[in-house]
Structure 1
Amino acid sequence: MPFTISRRQFVSTSLALGAGTALGGLPAMPARAQGIDNLKLFVPANPGGGWDQTARSIEQALKAGNMIKGAQVTNVGGAGGAVGLPQFVNQWKGQGNALMVAGMVMVGALITNKSPVSMTQTVPIARLTGEFEVVVVPATSPIKSMADLAAAFKADPAKVSWAGGSAGGTDHILAGMIAKAVGGDPKKVAYVAYAGGGPAQAALLGAQVTCGVSGYGEFAEQIKAGKLRALGISADKRQAGIDIPTIKEQGIDVELFNWRGVFAPPGVKDADRAAMIELMRKMNQSPAWKEQLTARDWTDIFLAGDDYAKYITSEIARIGDILKELGLG
Structure 2
Amino acid sequence: MRRRQFFAGGLAVAVCAVGCGTERAPGGAAGLRARFSINPEGRRWARVGQVFAGAARAAGYQLGAGTKVTLTGLPALAAAEVNGRQALLTTTTPLARLSGEVEVVVVSGKSRFRDFEDFGAHLVAKPGQTPLVGGPQGEPDHLLFGLIAKGLGADTRRMDYTGYPSSEEAATALLSGKATAAAGLLADWRPGIGAGRVRALAVSTARRVPDLDTPTLLESGVRVDFADWVAAFGPEAMPDGAREAAIRMCDDVTGSPAWDAACRSEGWISIPLSGEDFELWLSTEVERTRAVLRDLGLLDKP
TM-score range, shorter-chain basis?
A: 0.7 to 0.9
Q: Does 1:139 align with 2:109?
A: yes
| Aligned match of 2:223 | 254
Distance 1:118 1:107 in 2: 10
What's the CA shift string for 1:238-270, capped at 9, x where partnerless? 4433311223433x3232222321112325444
Please report how far the alpha carbon of residue 317 of structure 1 lies from its aligned counterpart in structure 2 after TM superposition.
1.8
Contact 2:38 2:71 in 1 (8 A): no
Q: Does 1:124 align with 2:122?
A: no
Q: 1:323 to 1:58 in 2, by over 3 A?
A: same
Q: Does 1:57 align with 2:51?
A: yes
Distance 2:40 2:166 in 1: 17
Question: Aligned partner of 1:277: which letter?
Answer: I
Contact 2:35 2:61 in 1 (8 A): no
Contact 1:4 1:257 in 2 (8 A): no
Q: Does 1:281 align with 2:251?
A: yes
Question: Aligned partner of 1:150: which letter?
Answer: G
3-state SS in 2 of match to 1:257? coil
What's the CA shift string for 1:25-67, capped at 9, x where partnerless? xx9699994222xx341324xx3x4x44433332343355554
Question: Aligned partner of 2:223: which letter?
Answer: V
1:233-252 equivalences in 2 (<5 Å): 233-250=203-220, 252=221
| Aligned match of 2:194 | 224
Please report how far the alpha carbon of residue 308 of structure 1 lies from its aligned counterpart in structure 2 after TM superposition.
1.9
Q: Does 1:293 align with 2:263?
A: yes
Please report how far the alpha carbon of residue 126 of structure 1 lies from its aligned counterpart in structure 2 after TM superposition.
0.8
In structure 2, the gaps of 5 or more residues are 9-25
What's the CA shift string for 1:205-241, capped at 9, x where partnerless? 5655332212333433442343432111133454433
What's the CA shift string for 1:83-130, capped at 9, x where partnerless? xxxxxxxxxxxx8432222334455433333x2322120111111123
1:49-198 equivalences in 2 (<5 Å): 49=44, 51-63=45-57, 65=59, 67-68=61-62, 96-113=66-83, 115-120=84-89, 121-154=91-124, 156-197=126-167
Contact 1:33 1:278 in 2 (8 A): no
Contact 1:133 1:256 in 2 (8 A): no
3-state SS in 2 of match to 1:180? helix
3-state SS in 2 of match to 1:135? strand
Distance 2:48 2:110 in 1: 32
Question: Aligned partner of 1:41: which letter?
Answer: N
Q: 1:205 to 1:296 in 2, by over 3 A?
A: farther
Number of equivalent positions:
275
Question: Aligned partner of 2:268: which letter?
Answer: W
Choose the corresponding residue for 1:42, options 29, 40, 43. Answer: 40
| Aligned match of 1:266 | 236
TM (norm. structure 2) is 0.75
Contact 1:43 1:55 in 2 (8 A): no
RMSD of equivalent CA atoms: 3.4
Question: Aligned partner of 1:148: which letter?
Answer: D
In structure 1, the gaps of 5 or more residues are 7-26, 71-94
Distance 1:97 1:197 in 2: 36
Question: Percent of counterpart pairs with the same letter?
Answer: 29
Q: 1:319 to 1:234 in 2, by over 3 A?
A: same
Distance 1:268 1:175 in 2: 36
| Aligned match of 1:307 | 277
Please report how far the alpha carbon of residue 188 of structure 1 lies from its aligned counterpart in structure 2 after TM superposition.
1.3
